[in-house]
Amino acid sequence: MSDESFSFSAEQFSGQARVFPLPNLVMFPHVMQPLHIFEPRYRAMLEEALEDDRLIAMGLLAPGWEQQQEGRPTLRNTACLCRVATYQQTEKNTYNVLMLGVRRLRLVKELPPKKLFRVVESEILEDLMPADIGEDELGELQQTLLASFKRSLPKMPDAFEQLDQLLGTQITLGMLCDIVAYTINLDLESKVRLLAEVDVMRRAELLLQAIDGRPTGAVLRTFPPRFSVN
């Protein structure tokens, strides 16, 4: 897997996002998600992305989408812009894909249906950090979040060691929040709020509240998740 597969800068994004809408998977930046793409419209979407910028937005269907299946179900206005890290075409002409989350995205206006898949005018949402927050306060909050996350995990020494190694890298509080939010078992609306929250301090506070309210060992995804610090 080349470094280019992981690299991303905001200048690479045209503002028009190909959207892969999903009913119940909330994708976050800095983590990876495998997908199996088999529907013709999404195969067309992937093939165009591979020929262009390798970018696809993993979006969420708004509540009530079950009654809109014949049309274009309403999308929530926050999505995760992803880069195709790797892909493999199968003998049945379907694709196994590994998607890397790179940025939060605000979906602004859906374009007319000229393609098999949906395209939305979008804006990248960058993390916001209050200017008056010092390094000591940031470090303390990061350690508090890490400790709460560890308490919520099953007793897995290897996972704890990898977490400690992770914090030894140049990971930011925002990155840690996203890795934890993706990994832990929270209800859909809680994850949607975490994805939509660009204020990193507020995101961390929401996560701490959510983790403290979960029973010990309540982790949905295999830990550690595949992630990137791009």
Identify the CATH number of the domain in which residue 39 sits: 2.30.130.40
Residues 12-55 have pLDDT tens digits of 899 999 999 998 899 999 999 999 999 999 999 999 999 999 99
Q: Which amino acid is at 152?
A: S
H helix count then E strand count, the chain: 6, 6
DSSP β-ladder status, 32-37 and 95-110: antiparallel
Q: pLDDT digit string (tens) for 74-121?
A: 899 999 999 999 999 999 999 999 999 999 999 999 999 899 999 999
Angstrom CA distances, 12 to 8, 9, 55, 103, stand at 7, 6, 9, 12
**Do 58 and 83 contact (CB within 8 A), yes or no?**
no
What is the number of domains present in the chain? 2
Instruction: Identify the domain containing residue 44 by its residue range.
Output: 3-125
Of 67, 91, 125, the residue at which a domain comes to its end is 125
Q: Residue 47: in which H helix or E strand, if any?
A: helix 40-51
pLDDT at residue 154 tops 60: yes
206 pLDDT higher than 50: yes
Q: Is there a single domain that holds both residue 76 and residue 172?
A: no
